[in-house]
């Protein structure tokens, strides 16, 4: 349940922030009359996300067991790919999200009402589709269709409340740190979903090694126990994974976590600007400088050879 709460909170907060930024910018620029198209785009995006989730749930129920496992495994892998891309993208652009959206909104205002609807729809729809897919795969992995949905809805409700507080200006947190640590937790969750997707594909006979167990600690961590249920609900933990599941879990989690938590490299352009700024007003001499009279400097002086100042 916690994992799904985290998914709903993380994805919902991204969508809420996007909506808040769009609305605040329109209000501040005197374009209140353009709010209706923005809300229309948001509404269409939410409806599409719900329809997508319903199609996954009810469409898969009519399939054979093998087809269900194949579909579940494939979509689990797709969901992990989307979530991984999302957390790395947000880690890189969280500080500049408002500026990026303002630019898109200016272009949409110039094009007209339809462009505003499309802009808000694309901004929110991507988050909604990712949320529906990831929650559906998490529900399939847990085998419990109630608690994961409750957790996700609570997360979304929390995200909407936080978005409203952001808009009102009463809540300020470091978004870069927030998305960094929630992203790290989602990487762990995604690793479990990926391992479960591999298990589904093994059960569908798409991948080999279903009977090759890496270990079995079911006696120590019974799946029906409260702590077994907690581990499964949060991390998609399985007490008897196959060798392939364990290998895929490690091959995804370790490099993804290392890359995600690694310090961001400074961009070359930013480093060049910083170097130029640091050099402003400095004097560097690589050769002897001889002054034979008073000299008045109005800026920085760089000498690459001997320099003689004549008397003025």
Task: List pLDDT tens digits, range 241-281.
Answer: 999 999 999 999 999 999 988 876 655 544 444 444 444 44
Alpha carbon of 239 to those of 145, 178, 190, 222: distances in Å? Answer: 21, 31, 17, 8
Beta carbons of 38 and 104 less than 8 angstroms apart: no
Q: How far apart are CA 139 and CA 298, in angstroms?
A: 69
What pairing do the DSSP bridges indicate for beta strands 284-285 and 307-309?
unpaired
Alpha-carbon Rg for the chain, nearest whole angstrom, is 27
Highest mean pLDDT among 33-37, 159-163, 214-218: 214-218
Q: What is the pTM of this model?
A: 0.61
pLDDT digits (tens, 9 = 90+) for 164-205: 887 777 666 666 777 777 778 778 888 888 888 898 899 888
């Amino acid at each position: 349940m916690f994992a799904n709460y985290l998914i709903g909170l993380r994805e919902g907060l991204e969508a809420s922030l996007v909506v808040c930024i769009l609305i605040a910018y329109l209000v501040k620029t005197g374009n209140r009359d353009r709010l209706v198209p923005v809300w229309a785009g948001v509404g269409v995006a939410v409806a599409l996300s719900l329809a997508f989730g319903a199609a996954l749930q009810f469409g898969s129920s009519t399939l054979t067991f093998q087809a269900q496992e194949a579909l579940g495994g494939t979509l689990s892998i797709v969901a992990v790919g989307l979530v991984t891309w999302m957390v790395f993208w947000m880690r890189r652009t969280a500080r500049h999200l408002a500026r990026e959206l303002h630019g898109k909104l200016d272009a949409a205002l110039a094009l007209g009402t339809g462009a505003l609807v499309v802009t808000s729809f694309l901004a929110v729809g991507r988050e909604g589709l990712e949320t529906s897919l990831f929650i559906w795969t998490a529900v399939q992995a847990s085998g419990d269709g109630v608690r994961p949905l409750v957790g996700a809805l609570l997360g979304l409700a929390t995200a909407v409340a936080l978005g409203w507080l952001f808009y009102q200006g009463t809540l300020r947190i470091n978004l870069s740190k927030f998305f960094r640590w929630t992203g790290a937790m989602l990487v762990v969750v995604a690793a479990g979903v990926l391992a479960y997707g591999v298990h589904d594909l093994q059960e569908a006979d798409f991948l080999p090694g279903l009977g090759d167990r890496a270990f079995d600690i079911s006696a120590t961590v019974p799946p029906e126990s409260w702590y077994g249920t907690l581990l499964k609900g949060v991390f998609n933990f399985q007490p008897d994974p196959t060798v392939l599941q364990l290998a895929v879990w490690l091959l995804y989690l370790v490099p993804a976590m290392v890359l995600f938590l690694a310090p961001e490299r400074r961009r070359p352009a930013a480093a060049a600007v910083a170097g130029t700024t640091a050099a402003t007003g400095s004097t560097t001499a690589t050769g002897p400088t001889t002054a034979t009279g008073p000299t008045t400097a109005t800026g920085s002086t760089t000498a690459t050879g001997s320099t003689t100042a004549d008397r003025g």
